[in-house]
Amino acid sequence: MTRFTWHRLVLWSVLLLFAAWFLAPLYVMIATSLKDMEQVRTGNILSWPTSPTFDAWAKAWGTACTGTDCGGLQPFFMNSVLMVLPAVAVSTSIGAINGYVLSKWRFRGSETMFAMLLFGVFMPMQVVLLPMSQVLGWLGIASSIWGLILVHVVAGIPSTTLFFRNYYVGLPDELIKAAMLDGAGFWRIFTRIVLPLSTPILVVTLIWQFTNIWNDFLYGVVFSGADSKPITVGLNNLSNTSSSVKEYNVDMAAALIAALPTLFIYAVAGKYFVRGLTAGAVKG
């Protein structure tokens, strides 16, 4: 390899240049969020704060104004937590059972049904917004967290089903047949044999659903009411609230607060997140 040192130099420069490009916004966000407005004005986007302070973070969390309401991001964050936990749990469970049936208990038409369900992974959700808001109204859960949970569960079924189905296809059929010969039924095989083998795909799906639902903005902005807006809507309202002085430091702290949960999961389980990303696009 030493013969190629010149090549290696170019290679590394390009790679590091791109790494800097990807990291720059994160650095700018962190640096800006630790400044007060005086330092924001006198410094520049790349300068490190001369006297770092968490005031902007405290303001973004507790007292910043979104529209006319000045309670910070805290209530929005709580809404997102209340929404994301049940939505992830339910959509993942449904996906696991669907995937189990579609791979190990195929029936006539099940493959076609799977293909039809797959379109739901790709379709533009704009097409369901108007009718869905009527449906939520009929069900009496419009503008509530329950409505958002329902939409996220239903919209998540196609991708969770895809993930589990493609994973279970790889489990040997002999396993199921042997268990059936031993007298195990549909549920027993699922809970005793399939589920214990599902840890990797379970982690992938949980992370995928958590990231998607936490980061969702479209459903959040359309289907939420005054008390049920998720964090992304809160952040967008906060940074678009016009005041006499634009407090970029508070905006950046708010953006980081909104990004922290998913960034944390990415940092500890990035491998599984990447697997989810590629599983949605490349055949399993």
Partner 1 sequence: MTASRTAWLPRLVVAPSFLVGFLFIYGLIAWNGWLSVSASRLLPNYGFVGFAQYAALFESERFHVALTNMAIFGTLFIGGAMAIGLLLAVLLDQKIRAEGVLRTVYLYPMAISFIVTGTAWKWMLNPGLGLEHLMRQWGFESFTFDWLVDPDKAIYCIAIAGVWQSAGFVMALFLAGLRGIDDSIIKAAQVDGASLPRIYLRIVIPSLRPVFFSTLMVVSHLAIKSFDLVMALTAGGPGFATDLPATFMYAMAFSRGQIGLGAASATVMLATVAAIVVPYLYSELRTKR
Scanning residues 212 to 241, which ones bind partner 1 (CB under 8 A)?
214-218, 221-222, 232, 235-236, 239-240
Helix or strand holding residue 147 (H, E) = helix 145-169
Estimate to the nearest angstrom the gap between the alpha carbon of 123 and the chain centroid: 18
45 binds partner 1 (CB under 8 A): yes
User: Would you call 242 helix, strand, or coil by DSSP?
Assistant: coil
Longest pairwise C-alpha distance within the chain: 76
Cβ closest to partner 1, residue 206 vs residue 256: 256
Nearer to partner 1, 118 or 193 (CB): 118
Per DSSP, 188 falls in state H
Q: Report the DSSP beta bridge partners of residue 224.
A: 143
Query: Does residue 199 touch partner 1 according to CB under 8 A?
Result: no
Residue with Cβ nearer partner 1 (58 or 118): 118
**Can you list the alpha helix ranges (DSSP code H) found in 105-144?**
110-122, 126-139
Residue 140 interacts with partner 1 (CB under 8 A)? no
Rg (CA), the chain: 23
Question: Which one of the spans 56-64, 65-73, 191-199, 276-284 is the region binding partner 1 (CB under 8 A)?
Answer: 276-284
* Of residues 49-78, those binding partner 1 (CB under 8 A): none
Taking Cα atoms as reference points, which of 271, 146, 148 lies closest to residue 216? 148
C-beta of 78 vs 271, nearer to partner 1: 271
Q: Give, as ranges, the residues between 76 and 135 that touch partner 1 (CB under 8 A).
A: 94, 97-98, 101-102, 105, 107, 111, 113, 115-120, 122-132, 134-135
Among 36, 179, 197, 266, binds partner 1 (CB under 8 A): 266
CA distance 86 to 159: 17
